[in-house]
Amino acid sequence: AQSVTQLDSQVPVFEEAPVELRCNYSSSVSVYLFWYVQYPNQGLQLLLKYLSGSTLVKGINGFEAEFNKSQTSFHLRKPSVHISDTAEYFCAVSDPQGGSEKLVFGKGTKLTVNP
């Protein structure tokens, strides 16, 4: 069964600092990988996705992630964060061969950007 581990439950950073949110997945098959963001009292919004091809994926709001198959990781990075990036971030995996849209999510990482 697939599983996702987000190594940090909370990450505090100062504005304009770089940030990396870590994600490792466990799967014996090829996967699709996603990062979603959730702002308070809202649903989830897709930040970026890896389906195939280039291992460096760029998303919205200046975020990027790198797929590393050997380390089964998909870490999210941003070179300079803003106050508005304060939110909860979820890494997710799905099985492209599974015939289902089901996503398996990590527990989430709360990013707090301080002035």
The Cα–Cα gap between 38 and 106 comes to 13
**Residues in contact with other proteins, shown as a per-residue x/- string from 81 to 110 under the rule CB under 8 A:** ---------x---x-x--xxxxxxxxxx--
**Residues in contact with other proteins, shown as a per-residue x/- string from 45 to 74 under the rule CB under 8 A:** xx--x-x-----------------------
Decide if 75 contacts 66 (C-beta within 8 A).
yes
The Cα–Cα gap between 4 and 25 comes to 4
Number of residues that bind other proteins (CB under 8 A): 24
Residues 6+ apart with CB under 8 A from 55: 66, 67, 68, 69
Q: Which is nearer to other proteins, 15 or 22 (CB)?
A: 22
**Phi, psi at residue 38, to the nearest 5°?**
-130, 115
Residues 6-35 that bind other proteins (CB under 8 A): 32, 34
Q: Which residues bind other proteins (CB under 8 A)?
A: 32, 34, 36, 41-46, 49, 51, 90, 94, 96, 99-108
